[in-house]
Structure 1
Amino acid sequence: MTPATARTAPYRKFISSNRAELGLLALIRLLQLASPALPVGAYTYSQGLEWAVESGRIRDEASAGAWIGDVLTGAVGRFEAPLLIGLLAAWSAADAAEVGRLNADFLASRESAELRAETVQMGFSLNRLLADLRDPTLGCVQATLALLPEIAFPTAWAGIAAAWSIEPPAACAAYLWSWAENQVMAALKAVPLGQAAGQRLLAELGTRIPTVVGGAQSLPPAAWSNYTPAYAICNARHETQYSRLFRS
């Protein structure tokens, strides 16, 4: 080691340590965003899964896994996930116009009144949480969201993730995991299923998420699609379901 290298070694060690801490902080913030404890009421929604159980489409662990997996790779993976990637890019570029456009696109894509009400309610709750967090790094997110007449949940979620410097692939993976976890929890209550079955479902769904994220990053907007008729019908039919546990 030369004298110059010896003199700069402590500084390099400090920089490396500082980067590691920042990386861990981003991970912790990501876990916070993906946590079931996030106060947005996600646990009160099943996104049509409850009607799928009522109609007999979902009746056991295998059919629950098939249903959730198909929605993950179809409606969510081919529309919601790439739109989230687009939102993350727009927030990082401080492009308020693009944030607003993608927010409107997502609202327009909701196939039923319940699905639309769900994302607006969750977006409202997440926007309200922004002020309660008292984090100055989120000020620009609050200012942009204040310009929107209605806020879709992924719009607010992506804004926080971008402000907290979370990398898009990790953010998208966590968003999908949170969605899958909520769907599995709904299945556990509605089918019902046991806890071990829920963990098997999550383990299998987790293996799909990296592929879905990779596809979302490369899918051009012209190819985005949430065309899943059975999913849309179940969401619409849930609106008149007589006995139910969930709001969608």
Structure 2
Amino acid sequence: MLPLMRLLQLASPALPVGAYTYSQGLEWAVESGTVRDEAGTARWIGDLLEWNLARFEAPLLAWLMDAWAGGDDASVAALNADFLASRETDELRAETVQMGYSLVRLLADLDAFSALPGWRTRLLAVDEPAFPAAWSAAAAAWAIPADMAVPAYLWAWLENQVMAAVKAVPLGQSAGQRLLATLGARIPALAAQAAVLPADQWSNFTPGLALASSRHETQYTRLFRS
């Protein structure tokens, strides 16, 4: 049961990496009227889950876990660089770098991670670690199976997006739970697809997200950092 406990810790909104301060463009989608109710929120978050997270970030996370577990630090560095290069705006890049930095600091000081031989040194050697690189290091070090880790990672992202929508749209708490139930039901199939998706088919082509993020950078009033 210990790997499950570690996974719950990694996927918890209590993980002190600042995820709650980001909306990933959702705040601008609300401001512009693109997202204005529960149905619109479900479309926006569901499309990003399927066409962005499940087709790029999730398979990359699985490959990162394999590289960490196999001692292939060169591949870790390459995959981390690929993820940083995929961030299309300053806000999105700053978000993953800040969250990665915060998670690295936490793991480096956490006995449950740093006491494992070699893992602290390997993680600290990564130049400008993005959040998936740091998260996958913890998952691999704690021997969490990838078929559990990837769905949990997607769930944590989904939960953060829904909570951002509850604040920004705004939506009621019951609406938020309906969204989590409906969109969360899609995660097992998307995670299974991500696990076998060849690298030449990875894609994060979501121009709506890029536009929303870039326009959020100059939005007059903001609750969120992205």
Range into which the TM-score falls when normalised by the shorter chain: over 0.9
* SS of equivalent residue, structure 2 residue 158: helix
Q: Which runs of 5+ in 1 are unaligned?
A: 1-23
Q: What residue in structure 2 maps to residue 41 of structure 1?
A: 18
Of residues 52, 58, 71 in structure 1, which corresponds to 2:29? 52
Report the AA paired with residue 160 of structure 1.
A
**Partner Cα separation in structure 2 for residue 109 and residue 37 of structure 1:** 27
The number of equivalent residue pairs is 225
Q: What letter matches 1:225 in structure 2?
A: S
Matches within 5 A, 1:92-171: 92-135=69-112, 136-171=114-149
- Between the aligned partners of 1:84 and 1:187, the Cα distance in structure 2 is 25
Provide Cα deviations, 1:27-67, integer angstroms capped at 9, x if missing partner.
11100000000000000000000000001110000000110
1:187 corresponds to which of 150, 165, 186: 165
- Residues 79 and 224 in structure 1, CA contact (< 8 A), matched pair in contact too: yes
AA matched with 2:146: P
Q: CA RMSD in A?
A: 0.9
Partner of 2:41: 64
Superposed CA deviations along residues 172-202 of structure 1, whole A, max 9, x for unmatched, are: 0000000000000000000000000000000
Give the Å deviation of 1:137.
Answer: 4.5
Cα deviation for residue 146 of structure 1 reads 2.1
2:2 alignment partner in structure 1: 25
Q: TM-score, normalised by structure 1?
A: 0.89
Instruction: Select which of 185, 196, 216 maps to 1:238.
Output: 216
**2:53 paired with 1:76:** yes
The CA distance in 1 between the partners of 2:161 and 2:4, in whole Å, is 23
Cα distance in 1 for partners of 2:145, 2:155 equals 15
What's 1:207 paired with?
A: 185
The letter of the residue matching 1:57 is T
Cα distance between partner residues in 1 of 2:71 and 2:126: 15
2:179 & 2:116 partners in 1: Cα distance? 35
Unaligned runs of 5+ in 2: none
Deviation at 1:154, TM superposition (A): 0.5
Q: TM-score, normalised by structure 2?
A: 0.97
The equivalent of 1:228 in structure 2 is: 206
Greater Rg, structure 1 or structure 2? 1
Report the equivalent of 2:68.
Answer: 91
Measured at CA, do residues 132 and 209 of structure 1 come closer, stay the same or move farther in structure 2, by a change above 3 Å? same
Secondary structure of the 2:33 match is coil
2:206 is matched by which residue type in structure 1? T
Once residues 142 and 239 of structure 1 are traced to their aligned partners in structure 2, the CA distance between those partners, rounded to angstroms, is 35
Structure 1 residue 145, shift from structure 2 partner: 2.4
Q: How many percent identity over aligned positions? A: 64
Q: How far apart, in 1, do the equivalents of 2:119 and 2:91 lie? A: 26
Report the AA paired with residue 88 of structure 1.
Answer: M
